[in-house]
Structure 1
Amino acid sequence: MSIKLFDTTLRDGTQREGVSLTSEDKLRIARVLDSLGIHYIEAGFPASNPKDLELFENFDAAELENARLVAFTRTRRASSRAKDDPAVSLLPRLSAPAACIVAKSWRLHVEKVLGSTPEENLEAIRDTVSYLVEAGKEVIFDAEHYFDGFRDDPEHALSVLRAATEAGASSLVLCDTNGGTLPTELKAIVSRTVKEFSDVEIGIHTHNDAGCGVANALLAVEAGATQVQGTINGVGERCGNCDLITTIADLQLKMGLEVLPPENLSRLTEVSNFVSEVMNLTPDAHRPYVGHSAFAHKGGLHVDGVSRDPSTYEHVPPEAVGNRRRTPVGELAGKNSLRAKAKELGLEVGDVSAVLAEIKRREHAGYHYEAADASLALLIERTSGKHEPLFELESFRIISEKRADGETTVEATIKLRVGGERVISTAEGNGPVNALDRALRQAIEPHYPQLAGIHLSNYKVRILDEHRATAATTRVLIDSTDGKRVWGAVGVGENIIEASWQALVDGLEYGVGRG
């Protein structure tokens, strides 16, 4: 059974609140999806906005090696012919070899939204599909609100599909546009439809409003659908679309259907993160298969089981989808968890009980090590007596000045000993942490030149006991990078500058020690 993947990240996915892609963003994502092995890439609705039209006019579909570029449009208006409707007639001159046409299949929408009749709706479908087929386009027909329409009037919903088929559509896609159909009902309707149109490709397009987007797509395939539409990471309007990343993994690893070249399956995590980055969205750490925490084992029994046989607590090998196994360590960790985490960090733990006791004491005080591997590694070394600090701090001082002209300046002065010398360093910054970072680097970089390649990439603050107002304890998490790796460090204190200093120093010490 051959399943085709139809990606609509660049059209339906951009309807997610807060997402806006430039033409160049879309081109970058399209090329990555093509290299992954996606069969159809719907890049936008050229009649809806100048940006999408520009994309199709400038993108030669021949650039794609695996995918067919798809342009989206609606059926022609009731008062015109397809050849005279600008939203339809512009498609023949575009290089996209395929067109996806959406039309109403729910009588309620035909009468209340379009203000039309079922007969006129069917004629618009026939005219639009045949016009584009005659223009040499492969036509994929999206039956909007198909499941709601079928529930309301099965014969009308089926008549919409017949009109598209008779006019030459190569695929009939059943859309759960409102995302409210449950799996059992959806499978029954897909089965009935497949029997009615046994010689035409049936596709499925689901939304996630009832939390069933992926499940519905999988059951549609079981019922005979051979095309699955969705978006990378499930991005889309309201609660999102069917997540193609999860669906691909389920189809290939669980149902034994080869939808991607086997060697490309291990790129799912990379592609998921790439699309999140281009869309400026924080990746969901708990996303199935590809999330940072998808194969994170925290409980002692789980860690022990995985160390003996990964299949005890992993439903698939993380490497199959390009992910990796992780062992977060915190106050609930046992000895096996700590040993496994130390091994992951390239360390050996001497007195495991002493290290665990220190972790639990510090987590009780507000530290949190799951996202702070750098601080955890240094804690293990310090508790084991193996840590060598980069410098000895004598003192630091922060001066912040607000002037009458509205300008604010921050100056940090640090006194420390490094390499047997006493050094005093002063630097300005756009805030206290930035000023401290600059002053510290200025003082110790001559002794540790590798610091030049280490940069702070993220800074997060969390108030742990809000009821204490301005006297509350603060947790600071700082991420650092050398361009190849990213590591986190944590600091805690009632003084936000002190907490920031702890995280800053841990991040730099870890980076230098493993450079």
Structure 2
Amino acid sequence: MSRKIYLYDTTLRDGTQAEDVNFTVQDKVRIAEALVDFGIDYIEGGWPGSNPRDIDFFNEVKKSKKAAGYVAAFGSTRRAKLSCDSDDNIQALLQSGAPTVTIFGKTWDLHVREALKISLEANLEIIFDSLSYLKKRVGTVFYDAEHFFDGYKANSEYAIKTLKAAIEAKADCLVLCDTNGGTMPDELVEIINNVKKEIGDYPLGIHCHNDSECAVANSILAVKNGIVHVQGTINGYGERCGNANLCSIIPNLQLKYGYQCVSEDQLKKLVKISRLVNELGNLKHNIHQPYVGRSAFAHKGGVHVSAILKNSRTYEHIEPELVGNKQRVLISDLSGKSNLIYKARDFGLEIDQNDPNLNTILEKLKELENKGFQFEGAEASFELLVRKGLGNFRKFFDLLSFRVIDEKRSALEPPFAEATVMLMVGGEIEHTAAIGNGPVNALDLALRKALEKFYPSLKTMELVDFKVRILSGKDGTKAVTRVLIESKDEKDIWGTVGVAHNIIDASYQALVDSIEYKLFKDAYK
């Protein structure tokens, strides 16, 4: 059986030190439970001696039957002038009730002399005292050797002495930390191998930061050179440039090198856990992130698509389903017939590559993209385009006219927006108006008001995102505008697009596509 690698997630502590990353106590408990389902061995919940929120988390997570046994409390060695019994931080670690405790200590002699302002021998005593005290009271104790690689390069003899102090205190694992994130891969391998010569087969871990874009590579090389415990965060969140990204480390170790990290079924939850952390942190998904990004297995060039239709291995390094992702084909002016055929299959349409409509649709697509349309984030609009081109679509309504008024009646009052629409549905004319929070909202409400009489299912549809992009800045306020709209109902979420010089017209196009797509899928899907 392949070697087991123990995973230590620090998203809830180190990850929250990233700019713009913040979780409530309830968010942290939910993430901890999801990490357990995903197969993480240790979940660092926070530093209970540093802030009330982390104290609240440890109190709350005790109630979780799923996560309580997996959490680790993080803290520092005792203060130089205090005993462990009188050190508030050490006592807070014990009071957290966490079954695992991780403490960091100074490895770099520069920090000992200039930050702590104590002797090198006194620092060794602090490391030993803190770890031995905790080890007698907690089941599992890890030692994070802070700034280990920088400390080793500055004074290798002393850096090793700090590890030996932790070994003497019977720490369960010594975690070598690249705290500044500046260690190069070849340096890291050499230092790890030197450490092993000094301390033998004692369990070693790795904790890398990403300041030189080497955190994932360094973590993988550490494992290949005997490391058994890997620390990192989901999506690589962390202070400055972030931490080692577990969403890349885990599949690389398991799928590329055969190490045992999580089960096959748990690995399929990788995309899910990545997105959960983003959603709870109110963070935008990085669509280009390896393995878990929406674009990780997306294909745009016609040559690529033609090849993956024959064999997906031609342009994919793994099967996307192994990590819970899926293959996607993008539609753009780079598209060929293969893209259209592939996307049509997604919609349940089988198109013969010799179908004369195919060339017509492709030319229409390229014409629209030349005008500024973008279908990569508006696949519902693209599906409508294909179905209309194939004659596989019926119109649900016809626009006779619309008018939007945006009036500001005084300097102190917000503008007043009203939209009026006239539609024909099955030979019946419907004329109505609505007031909204801005002209686009008013137009959206007026369209729905006119149509819900005929199509009640529109009441379950809502707009969830609205993006506007000016396509040519040189034209100023006369520039062409692209509007991307994201809508959802109780079952699906879909995107539509509109392009025009007039932002209201562009919005109308995207709104109508969204409504038409909703009506079509309710009627035929």
TM-score of the superposed pair, with normalisation by structure 2:
0.96
Instruction: Verify: 1:389 aligned to 2:395, yes or no.
Output: yes
What corresponds to 2:216 in structure 1?
Answer: 214
| Correspondences of 1:394-433 after superposition (within 5 Å) | 394-404=400-410, 405-433=412-440
Q: Matched residues, percent identical?
A: 48
| Correspondences of 1:220-239 after superposition (within 5 Å) | 220-239=222-241
**For the Cα contact (< 8 Å) 1:92–1:137, is it kept in 2?**
no
What corresponds to 2:128 in structure 1?
Answer: 126
2:498 to 486, 491, 499: 491
Distance between the aligned counterparts of 1:64 and 1:132, measured in 2? Answer: 25
Distance between the aligned counterparts of 1:117 and 1:64, measured in 2? Answer: 44
What corresponds to 1:4 in structure 2?
Answer: 6
**Matched residues, number:** 515
1:182 Cα deviation after fit: 1.1
1:416 Cα deviation after fit: 1.2
Write the deviation string for residues 284-343 of structure 1: whole angstroms up to 9, x where unpaired: 101111110111111112111111111111111011111110000110111111111111
Give the letter for the 1:279 counterpart. Answer: G
What corresponds to 2:147 in structure 1?
Answer: 145
Give the letter for the 1:87 counterpart. Answer: N
Distance between the aligned counterparts of 2:438 and 2:520, measured in 1? Answer: 27
1:513 Cα deviation after fit: 0.5
What corresponds to 1:457 in structure 2?
Answer: 464
1:468 Cα deviation after fit: 0.6
What corresponds to 1:191 in structure 2?
Answer: 193
Distance change >3 Å, CA 173–CA 391, structure 1 → 2? same
1:90 Cα deviation after fit: 2.1
Give the letter for the 2:460 counterpart. Answer: G
1:168 Cα deviation after fit: 1.7
SS in 2 for 1:214: helix
What corresponds to 1:114 in structure 2?
Answer: 116
Distance between the aligned counterparts of 2:64 and 2:363, measured in 1? Answer: 62
**For the Cα contact (< 8 Å) 2:145–2:175, is it kept in 1?**
yes
SS in 2 for 1:90: helix
Distance between the aligned counterparts of 1:154 and 1:116, measured in 2? Answer: 19
Give the letter for the 2:172 counterpart. Answer: S
SS in 2 for 1:514: helix
| Correspondences of 1:228-377 after superposition (within 5 Å) | 228-349=230-351, 350=355, 351-377=357-383
Instruction: Verify: 1:39 aligned to 2:56, yes or no.
Output: no
**For the Cα contact (< 8 Å) 1:217–1:247, is it kept in 2?**
yes
Give the letter for the 2:372 counterpart. Answer: G
Give the letter for the 1:355 counterpart. Answer: I
**For the Cα contact (< 8 Å) 1:61–1:96, is it kept in 2?**
no
**For the Cα contact (< 8 Å) 1:9–1:42, is it kept in 2?**
yes
Distance between the aligned counterparts of 2:409 and 2:167, measured in 1? Answer: 73
1:76 Cα deviation after fit: 0.9
Distance between the aligned counterparts of 1:43 and 1:487, measured in 2? Answer: 36
TM-score of the superposed pair, with normalisation by structure 1:
0.98
Give the letter for the 1:260 counterpart. Answer: V
Write the deviation string for residues 168-217 of structure 1: whole angstroms up to 9, x where unpaired: 21110000011111111111111222332334210000011111111100
Give the letter for the 1:248 counterpart. Answer: I
**For the Cα contact (< 8 Å) 1:61–1:95, is it kept in 2?**
no
Distance between the aligned counterparts of 1:4 and 1:417, measured in 2? Answer: 64
Distance change >3 Å, CA 99–CA 452, structure 1 → 2? same
Distance between the aligned counterparts of 1:325 and 1:62, measured in 2? Answer: 36
**Residues 41-50 or 413-422, more deviating:** 413-422
**For the Cα contact (< 8 Å) 2:18–2:240, is it kept in 1?**
yes
**For the Cα contact (< 8 Å) 2:220–2:253, is it kept in 1?**
yes
Instruction: Verify: 1:135 aligned to 2:144, yes or no.
Output: no
Give the letter for the 2:402 counterpart. Answer: F
SS in 1 for 2:517: helix
**Residues 338-347 or 193-202, more deviating:** 193-202
What corresponds to 2:486 in structure 1?
Answer: 479
**For the Cα contact (< 8 Å) 1:194–1:225, is it kept in 2?**
no
**Residues 474-483 or 106-115, more deviating:** 106-115
**Residues 191-200 or 93-102, more deviating:** 191-200
Distance between the aligned counterparts of 1:341 and 1:474, measured in 2? Answer: 26
1:381 Cα deviation after fit: 2.2
**For the Cα contact (< 8 Å) 2:69–2:99, is it kept in 1?**
no
1:62 Cα deviation after fit: 6.9
What corresponds to 1:466 in structure 2?
Answer: 473
Distance between the aligned counterparts of 1:305 and 1:92, measured in 2? Answer: 58
Distance between the aligned counterparts of 2:362 and 2:140, measured in 1? Answer: 63
Distance between the aligned counterparts of 1:136 and 1:232, measured in 2? Answer: 26
Distance change >3 Å, CA 262–CA 48, structure 1 → 2? same
**For the Cα contact (< 8 Å) 1:35–1:65, is it kept in 2?**
no
**Residues 84-93 or 219-228, more deviating:** 84-93
SS in 1 for 2:260: coil
SS in 2 for 1:38: coil
Write the deviation string for residues 327-385 of structure 1: whole angstroms up to 9, x where unpaired: 00110111111111111122345411111111111111100111110111111122333
**Residues 3-12 or 479-488, more deviating:** 479-488
Distance change >3 Å, CA 270–CA 348, structure 1 → 2? same
